[in-house]
Amino acid sequence: MAEPAKRSGFFDLWSRFYDLPPVQVAVYRPVHQTVLRELRGAPVRRVLDVGCGTGILTARLAGELGAELVAGCDFSIGMLEQARQRDARIGWVRGDAMRVPMATGSVDAIVSTEAFHWFPDPDAALAEFHRALAPGGRALVALVNVRREETSRLMRGGSEALGQPAWWPTRAEMQERFERAGFVKVRQRRVVRVAGILIPTVVTAGEKP
């Protein structure tokens, strides 16, 4: 696993490009639209965005869902600096997915878009999401899901060689991990976007009983 300072520096640098319109249109906006569409199906009062980046989706969650509490969490100082400039009303906090900065049972929805593949312990992250959610709360995780396990191992090896280890699971593996973490009613929706025609991004959603 990359050293924390080195990994944070990588995202601090990426924060300078994250908001560029071509990047947003090709990579992030279709994912955000899908997550918002999923959350509009039921009332959501308290939402946490884990791996919030510069806060584009977090701000939309606050503005479009009518939630009374919205918080954004990220490991990168550079990302959070830009997020705070975007909307000072939102609670921005530095943290990681293995130690979600919310009390047990305190939120109705946790979202993570295009960040989950960087988390060093996916099962620990999902366990934290489950802990922080209130009964009936939902977790929504969006990331690239490769079609075959062999591809997943190849991409993992390549990312480790570059010093930024990441994990891209199959759809079946994501569903299994959600269910193992205690989520029910697990379902998946593919996101259609320019940057993911051949390698699809999938939103996996599950509910805490």
Please give the model's pTM, rounded to 2 decimal places: 0.85
| pLDDT tens digits, one per residue of 47-95 | 999 999 899 999 999 999 989 999 999 988 888 999 999 988 899 999 9
pLDDT > 70? residue 184? yes
- Helix, strand or coil, per DSSP, at residue 124: helix
Domain residue spans of the chain: 4-207
Count other C-beta atoms under 10 Å from residue 22's C-beta: 9
Contact 98, 149 (CB under 8 A): no
- Is 1 a residue whose pLDDT tops 50? no
Instruction: Identify the residue whose tokens are 């906090």.
Output: 93
Burial of 98 (0-12, 13-18, 19+ CB in 10 A): middle
Name the more confident of 10 and 33: 33
Please, what CATH class does the domain formed by 4-207 belong to?
alpha beta
